[in-house]
Amino acid sequence: MGGRRRLAASLLRFSPIQSQSHHVPWIRLHPGQCWAPYSSSSVSPSAQTQLPKPTPRPETPSTITINGKTYPTDAWFNVPSNVLASTNRRLHLQKDHPVSITRQILESVFPRPTFRYHNDFDPVVSTYENFDSLGFPPDHPGRSRSDTYYINRETLLRTHTSAHEAALFSASASDGYLISADVYRRDEVDRSHYPVFHQMEGARVWDRTKVPNGDIAAAVYADLARLPTHNVKVEDPNPPSHPERNPLQSAHHSPAEAEAIAAHLKRSLELMVVEIFTRAKAAAAKQDPNYVDEPLRVRWVEAYFPFTSPSWEMEVYYAGDWLEVLGCGVSKQELFINAGVPSQLGWAFGIGLDRIAMLLFQIPDIRLFWSRDERFLGQFAGVSDNLDLLKRFVPFSKYPACYKDVSFWLRATSAAGGNTGTANAHDFHENDVMEIIRNIAGDVVEDVRLTDQFTHPKTGRRSMCYRINYRSLEKTLTNAEANELHGRVIAALVDRLGVEIR
Ligand code: DAH
C-alpha cells in the first residue's frame, strides 16, 4: 500500500485485506483519502490509551457557525479556520468545476426515478451518524481526534458520505439514491491529499413485501437483466463471500439473494467506471492523435467495511498499476432494521470524486480544485451543459519547487502528567505536523514527507526530520517568501507540539 503511511496508527487504520502498490507518474496514490479508507476493522491495541485527553486550544471559540447554523464547541473542537472556510465552497455543485462534472457523469449511470440525487446535505453530522449508525466499534481509530475534525464530542465534519445512509434508508423515499458531498479528514500533505474532498455514495434497495411473490433474488435478477451490458474484461477470482472476514448474512439473506444483489452491484459499478474511462479516452484521443487505446481492465477484490458483508473494492488497471477506485458491499441488515425498514435489503458503494476527476481530466495536483484561477477554471467552461466537450487539463505552468527541511526532537517526558498539548513519542501524531504546516502555508505547500527518524540510543528521545516542498500553483515563490513561511512553521511546531528544533 505504498510507502507513504508511516506511523503505526495510520497503518492500522488503513490496513486493507489485500495490499498493492498504487503509483501513477503524476499522482501518488494509496488507500488513503479520496475513496475508501475505512476498509479496516483492526484497531491498535493501545489506540485508546494513546489518545491524548482533549484539551481546548487557547483559540477555541465557544461557538462556531457553519452554513448558518451555530454549534457549541467543547474540548474536542479541532477544526482549523482554513477547513471551516471550505465548508461553503460546495465544489461538487459548482457549474463547470471538474468535481461537479465528474458527479454529473456518474449520476448519468444511475437514472431517475429509480435513483434520487441528494447533493445538499450539510457537512455537520453527529458522531452517531458518522460512526455508530454504521457499526463502527467504539475504539475504531477513525474516530480519533487525530483523524477526524470535531466541533464537539457529539458533532463533527462528516468523514464520509456513508454518514447519511441510515437517514436515507429510514426515509425510504426511492429504490436507490446517490449522495454527493464534501467530506473532511485530517491527513497528510501531498498532491493527492487535501483535508476536504468529495465523495459520492450510492445505494439500491429492494423490499421483500413489494417484489412479486416476495422473491428478492428473482426481482434483482430481473432488474439486472434490464441494465446495459459492457465488454470490459473483469477479473473476479474470489468466492462471493468469506466465512470469517465477509460472511453471508445468513440470518437475513439466502445465498441466492446475496448473490443476486452482488451481481447487480458489480454490473452497476462496472458500468460506472466504463462510462468514466470511455469519456477519459475520448478526451485523450481528441487531443492527442497518437493516443493508443489500452483496453480497460477491472478487478474485484475482497475488502472490509463495518457496514457491509460481503464487501469489495474495485480496482482499475491504469498506467501500469492496479488502482483502487471504490468500496462497496451488501449492506448490513442491522442498518435497515435500525432504520425501521427491516423488509428492505440491498447494496451500497462509496467513491472519491476528486481522485476520479484527477484521472479523468489528468489533473496533477488536488490543490488545483480549490483554485479560483481562470487559467484552471476556464478550461472546463461549458462542459456541465455538454459533457461531450470534456477535455483533458492542460497545465498552465509548473513553478519551481522549494524544499526546506525541519528536524526536531520530540519531548522526552511521558504523558503521565496529563496532556499539555505538546508532543512526545507517545502522543505525537503526524497529522498534527501536517495540519500546522497547512494552516500556515495554505495551498502553497505541495508535499510534506518524513525523510528521517531515529531514537537516540542513550536518551531514548525520538528525532524526526520532515522535508517540506513549498510550491505555489500560481506563481514562483521567492526564497525569501519560502523562508518566511518556513520560519513560521518552525515556530508553530515548537509552540504547538513542544518539540525541540535540532
Ligand atoms: N464510506 C466508505 C469510506 O469512505 C466507502 C464505502 C464503502 C461506502 C462501502 C459504502 C460502502 O457505501 O458500502 O471509506
CA distance 412 to 153: 30
Instruction: Assess whether pLDDT exceeds 90 at residue 327.
Output: yes
Among protein residues, the one with the nearest Cα to ligand 1's atom 4 is 36
Cβ(215)–Cβ(362) under 8 Å? no
pLDDT digits (tens, 9 = 90+) for 166-219: 999 999 999 999 999 999 999 999 999 999 999 999 999 999 999 999 999 999
239 forms bridges with which residues in the sheet? Answer: none
Top mean-pLDDT range of 33-47, 54-68, 341-355: 341-355
Q: What does the block give as the cell for 232?
A: 470490459
Q: Mean pLDDT, to the nearest integer, of 30-46?
A: 40
pLDDT at residue 50, as a whole number: 40
Question: Whole-angstrom Cα distance, residue 77 to residue 54?
Answer: 9
Contact 487, 495 (CB under 8 A): no
Task: Say if CB 424 and CB 461 are below 8 A apart.
Answer: no
CB of 350 shorter than 6 A to ligand 1: yes
**Largest Cα–Cα distance of the chain, in whole Å?**
75
What is the pLDDT at residue 60?
Answer: 85
Q: How many Cα atoms sit within 13 Å of 347 on the Cβ side?
A: 23
In this prediction, residues 458-485 reach a mean pLDDT of 94
Q: Is the pLDDT of residue 256 over 70?
A: yes
Q: What is the crossing angle of helices 479-497 and 430-441, to 10°? A: 140
Residue nearest to atom 2 of ligand 1 (CA): 36
Q: Whose CA is nearest to atom 10 of ligand 1?
A: 349
Distance CA 15, CA 67 (A): 35
Q: CA 457, CA 342: separation in Å to the nearest integer?
A: 59
Residue nearest to atom 8 of ligand 1 (CA): 350
In this predicted structure, the answer to whether residue 388 has a pLDDT above a threshold of 50 is yes
CA 254 from chain centre, in angstroms, equals 32
Among 52-56, 125-129, 162-166, the minimum mean pLDDT is found in 52-56
Please tell me which residue, 7 or 281, carries the higher pLDDT value: 281
Q: For a pLDDT cut of 70, what percent of the chain falls above it? A: 85
- pLDDT at position 57 is 55
Residue 36 CB less than 6 A away from ligand 1: yes
pLDDT on residue 291: 86
Q: Is residue 328 within 6 Å of ligand 1 at its C-beta?
A: yes
pLDDT at position 369 over 90:
yes
Q: pLDDT class for 6, splitting at 50, 70, 90?
A: very low
Mean pLDDT of the chain: 87
Residue 380, exposed/middle/buried by CB under 10 A (0-12, 13-18, 19+)? buried
The predicted structure's pLDDT at residue 78: 96
Is the pLDDT higher at 79 or at 288?
Answer: 79
Is the pLDDT at 145 greater than 60, yes or no?
yes
Task: List beta partners, residue 115.
Answer: 176
In the predicted structure, residue 397 carries a pLDDT above the cut 90 = no
Ligand 1 mutation pick, 40, 349, 354, 355, max ligand atoms within 8 A of CB:
349
> Could you tell me which residues are beta bridge partners of residue 297?
233
Where residue 342 falls (left for φ over 0; alpha for ψ -120 to 50; beta otherwise) is: alpha
Instruction: Summarize the confidence of residues 261-289 as an average pLDDT.
Output: 94
What mean pLDDT is predicted for residues 350-362? 95
pLDDT given for residue 425 in this prediction: 63
Q: Which atom of ligand 1 is nearest to the CA of 134?
A: 1
Residue 1: what pLDDT?
Answer: 29
pLDDT of residue 38: 65
Cα–Cα nearest to 7, from 65, 69, 50: 50
Specify the residue for cell string 449511470: 109
The confidence band for 21, taking pLDDT boundaries of 50, 70 and 90, is very low
User: How do residues 399-443 score in pLDDT, each as one tens digit?
Assistant: 999 999 999 999 875 443 334 445 566 688 999 999 999 999 999
pLDDT in tens, 222-240: 999 999 999 999 999 888 8
Highest-confidence segment of 144-153, 310-319, 403-412: 144-153
Q: Is the CB of 305 under 6 A from ligand 1?
A: yes
Q: At 134, is the pLDDT very low, low, confident or very high (cuts 50, 70, 90)?
A: very high
Residues 150, 156, 160, 164: what is their CA dihedral angle, to the nearest 10 degrees? 170
Model confidence at 496: pLDDT above 60: yes
Q: 412 vs 143, which has greater pLDDT? A: 143
pLDDT category at 342 given cuts 50, 70, 90 is very high
> Measured from the CB, is residue 332 less than 6 Å from ligand 1?
no
Of residues 318 and 53, the one with the higher pLDDT is 318
* Backbone angles phi and psi of 425, in degrees to 5: -60, -20
Q: How far is the CA of 397 from the centre of ligand 1 (A)?
A: 36
For ligand 1, whether the C-beta of 308 sits within 6 Å is yes
> 451 C-alpha vs ligand 1 centroid, how far in Å?
32
3 state SS of 417: helix
The residue among 401, 479, 478, 488 whose CA lies nearest residue 440 is 488
DSSP 143: G
Ligand 1: which atom is nearest the Cα of residue 350?
A: 8
State yes or no: pLDDT of 3 exceeds 90.
no
- Return d(Cα 216, Cα 211) in angstroms, integer: 6
Would you list the DSSP string of 273-337? Answer: HHHHHHHHHHHHHHH-TT---PPPEEEEEE--BTTEEEEEEEEEEETTEEEEEEEEEEEPHHHHH
Distance CA 138, CA 152 (A): 17
